[in-house]
Structure 1
Amino acid sequence: MTRLSGFKRARGAETLTAALHVSNGDATDLPGTGLARRLIYWRDVLHEGPVPEVEPEELRRIRVAFLTGAGADDHAEGERMFADRDRTLADNRDGAYVLWFEADLYDQLQIIEILSRLAGLGVPAERITLICIGEYPGIARFGGLGQLTAGQLRALPGTNARIRLSPAALDLATRAWAAFRAPVPDGLGAVAADRSAELRFLGEAFDRLSREYPSTRDGLSLTERRVLAAVAGGATDAGAAYVHAAARETRPYLGDSWCFTMMERMARAPVPLLDAEPAGRPVGPGTELRLTPVGAQVLAGAADHVALNGLDRWIGGVRLHGRDVPWRWDEATERIIHATGTPRDLVTDS
């Protein structure tokens, strides 16, 4: 190594340590790298619950209320954590940022929220560095940065995983965040079709998000169908069903507690798709599961879950409610369509 290259590496590390680092959670040993002297965790499950078009303060209130109601957070602790997170992000507006994230849907939604906020704060793109990977040499099924040692994490900024963002990337993130929060899903398809060299996992994540809309085939989201298929295939309890369903994901993103909540909805529906034992108790890893006869019909495409049971679910800014939801995922064309017959294509380029 020449003296000049050593100097450049030292300056690069110095730049990283001076920045505010942002990550999805503390399962990643960023403190152990020595690079992240200032660090905040975003910690929001944005693919679950309402994420409407409102100002950041109101969105924080809505998200804390949802996460508290779902049992994911204590209200006071959640409010404090989100307020501290938002304040720290804004207070650094004259400095640099380093974002450490992964390729899955959970992380990609956090990335676009953060980048949209930074754009709103007037932070130039060149002061934002993104470190985002979807694979790692020697790990056959990469699940996230939490699998890496502090030494492996420390080496990532010296690879092509480190990207200094451009204004175009910041603009794409802002448009994607707006599309996700819109009250109709018109803009999701354009983001899913985008191929960005900087936000290279975003299109894939939006495609996966779109498949959570109820299908024209059976009224199931992709996750619901995979859970039912796991039970039909021999998974006898909720823990095994979760493991089998997660194994089908190219990039697993859904935590087990959220999946158990989904199973509970299918078991407690007016026309249950699952039998859960013991009855009357929250679904957990040891809950025994069996497919009901109607569940088998729905899985076979002979009945429609939404028509039978209705739906009340938020996907970003869209609330899907009732038995006649206006948008569906069309398996034949692989796009979100208007649910009335010959569909109005909601995958727009604008």
Structure 2
Amino acid sequence: MIQSLPALRRQFDSEQKQFHDFPADDPRCLQPLSLEQCKKQAKQLLKALNQGQAWSRTASHPKAESLQADQLKLADAQLIIAREQGFPSWPKLKHHVEASEMAARAIQSGRPDPLDGQLRTLHIRCGTDVMYKLAVAGFRGDFLCFADPFIQGPVPAETDRQRFIDIRSSFIANSNWRLKPQAVKDLTADYDALEQIGDYQRVCFWFEHDAYDVLVFSKLLHFLQDRTKRPEQMAFICVDHYPGVARFNGIGQLPVESMPLLWQQFTPLEEHHIEFGRQCWEAYTAPTPEALSQIVNLQAPAFPQILPALKRHIKELPWRADGLSLSERLTLQILHEQGPQDGAKLFYHWYTSVYEPLAFMGDSSYWKVLSHLVEARRPAIELVKGSSKPIDWQVSLTGFGRKLLAGEGHWQSHNDYDVWFGGVHNRTPGKLWYWDDEIGRVIQA
């Protein structure tokens, strides 16, 4: 459903809503950069480098191999500090800090500039996590949440829209996320809204670098291959970091004053982006993963921002070595190394914030991973359900789980398997598609 951001701002104020803030010591919490602090750090770094200390940090300097300790200047130290924070230069860091402070002051005043006010704009995101933040930050356009968790369940190459909606809504209902009639209603409304994007002058896609976002983005790009559906202008972000955030999982974790800074990073969406997105979607929805395997091994993709997510997600296929997906193996590894624990600590702390190399699942998707590991003839984990809430479940390894980690067992040798990966329906009996990490491609065995 398309919603007005000014109306959402009025609702935010009238209902006295509050944004969630991470604890200051949480690695997902933004630690705002201070220009004075960065200047102080640069002087301290220069002193250390001149004395031949902290030399490993010069790796961030573009001329690291030719640097000499007695010839380094303050500008060199400032450049190292800037590049460590993800900026190409010290002036770029300085601009970011000043722009952040200006945005914060404007938002606190209650009268931020309407950054998107020049054109009738639709903002599209695969969730509602930034919806109110955009409204409070002063954006004046409309907002569309287009969220279908394509990371799980059947995603076949179905051209009939209603048939596709029926397949996805059945999966959502069977996962106990929504009743099927509501899922059908919601997905139908989302697809109806897509038909309206050509009525806008500009459409902006707010995405990050993980598989959940990238697969939704690919679906939208596949939709936009029809030129008659397109607005006059299109732009996107696909963010993989943010200065001052140690553990960046997504733009939803950023505070409201970050939204105007992200707006400055938008890039025009061009034909080669749309074409590569189309290829990715068709590869993901194909009945075999061979085309996707070829895409993730491209050396110079046309849309490099979305490739890391696909490289990570293809590893959700069972691995040839033990029959586990990467998320399943990481779960067993956590329980082995950190011991038995409740679902909340397992997912929110260890899995999402420490072990997972590219976080892409929400908690409801992760509970499905746990269910798969326990609802089997020979389970890899044990769940003690003290309540109906997965966050309260007590999770521990079984003996078979330990054997799997030790390389002494294979999941499909002891358990039935019936799992969808995009358009691939992997099920026993019969051959399965596996990810072979040693050779970096898929195989059927």
- CA RMSD in angstroms comes to 2.3
Which of 120, 123, 147 is matched with 2:226 structurally?
A: 120
Do the aligned partners of 1:307 and 1:324 also contact (CA within 8 Å) in 2?
A: no
SS in 2 for 1:329: strand
Cα distance between partner residues in 1 of 2:429 and 2:336:
25
Cα deviation digits, residues 64-120 of structure 1 (max 9, x gap): 121122111233332222222211221222433110111111000010001111223
Task: For residue 249 of structure 1, report the CA deviation from its aligned partner.
Answer: 1.9
Which of 427, 442, 445 is matched with 1:321 structurally?
A: 427
Answer yes or no: is 1:163 the counterpart of 2:267.
yes
Answer yes or no: is 1:92 the counterpart of 2:194.
no
Which of 267, 270, 274 is matched with 2:377 structurally?
A: 270
1:348 is aligned to: none
1:26 is aligned to: 128
1:62 is aligned to: 167
Return closer, same or farther for 1:61/1:121 CA change in 2, 3 Å cut-off.
Answer: farther
Do the aligned partners of 1:165 and 1:198 also contact (CA within 8 Å) in 2?
A: no
Structure 2 counterparts to residues 39-188 of structure 1, below 5 A: 39-55=143-159, 56-95=161-200, 96-120=202-226, 122-123=228-229, 127-158=233-264, 161-188=265-292
Q: Give the helix-richer structure, 1 or 2.
A: 2
Task: For residue 198 of structure 1, report the CA deviation from its aligned partner.
Answer: 7.2
Cα deviation digits, residues 208-237 of structure 1 (max 9, x gap): 111011111111000000111111111423
Return closer, same or farther for 1:37/1:50 CA change in 2, 3 Å cut-off.
Answer: same
Cα distance between partner residues in 2 of 1:238 and 1:13:
41
* 36-45 vs 309-318, greater mean Cα deviation: 36-45
Look up the equivalent residue of 2:122 and give its one-letter code: L
Structure 2 counterparts to residues 177-216 of structure 1, below 5 A: 177-194=281-298, 199-216=303-320
Gaps of 5+ in 2: 1-112
2:34 is aligned to: none
Look up the equivalent residue of 2:369 and give its one-letter code: M
Q: TM-score, normalised by structure 2?
A: 0.68
2:358 is aligned to: 251
Cα distance between partner residues in 2 of 1:205 and 1:142:
14
SS in 2 for 1:207: helix
Q: TM-score, normalised by structure 1?
A: 0.86
Task: For residue 259 of structure 1, report the CA deviation from its aligned partner.
Answer: 1.5
Cα deviation digits, residues 317-339 of structure 1 (max 9, x gap): 00111154431111211221122
Task: For residue 138 of structure 1, report the CA deviation from its aligned partner.
Answer: 0.6
SS in 1 for 2:421: strand
Do the aligned partners of 1:90 and 1:121 also contact (CA within 8 Å) in 2?
A: no
Identity score, percent: 25
Cα distance between partner residues in 2 of 1:85 and 1:252:
25
Cα distance between partner residues in 2 of 1:218 and 1:190:
23
Cα distance between partner residues in 2 of 1:63 and 1:331:
30
Do the aligned partners of 2:344 and 2:391 also contact (CA within 8 Å) in 1?
A: yes
SS in 2 for 1:205: helix
Return closer, same or farther for 1:79/1:148 CA change in 2, 3 Å cut-off.
Answer: same
Cα distance between partner residues in 2 of 1:149 and 1:306:
44
Cα distance between partner residues in 2 of 1:291 and 1:147:
31
2:41 is aligned to: none
Return closer, same or farther for 1:288/1:24 CA change in 2, 3 Å cut-off.
Answer: same
1:218 is aligned to: 322
* 69-78 vs 101-110, greater mean Cα deviation: 69-78
Cα distance between partner residues in 2 of 1:89 and 1:36:
19
Which of 352, 360, 367 is matched with 1:260 structurally?
A: 367
SS in 1 for 2:412: helix
Cα deviation digits, residues 268-325 of structure 1 (max 9, x gap): 211111122249x767122222211111111211110012102111110001111544
Do the aligned partners of 1:306 and 1:323 also contact (CA within 8 Å) in 2?
A: no
Return closer, same or farther for 1:57/1:121 CA change in 2, 3 Å cut-off.
Answer: farther
Task: For residue 14 of structure 1, report the CA deviation from its aligned partner.
Answer: 3.1
Task: For residue 54 of structure 1, report the CA deviation from its aligned partner.
Answer: 0.7
Cα deviation digits, residues 112-156 of structure 1 (max 9, x gap): 001111223534597221122111111111121112233321232
Do the aligned partners of 2:374 and 2:382 also contact (CA within 8 Å) in 1?
A: yes
SS in 1 for 2:442: strand
Cα distance between partner residues in 1 of 2:115 and 2:144:
21
2:391 is aligned to: 285
Return closer, same or farther for 1:201/1:311 CA change in 2, 3 Å cut-off.
Answer: farther
Look up the equivalent residue of 1:18 and give its one-letter code: R
Cα distance between partner residues in 1 of 2:331 and 2:389:
13
Cα deviation digits, residues 47-72 of structure 1 (max 9, x gap): 11001011232212211121122111
Do the aligned partners of 2:419 and 2:426 also contact (CA within 8 Å) in 1?
A: yes
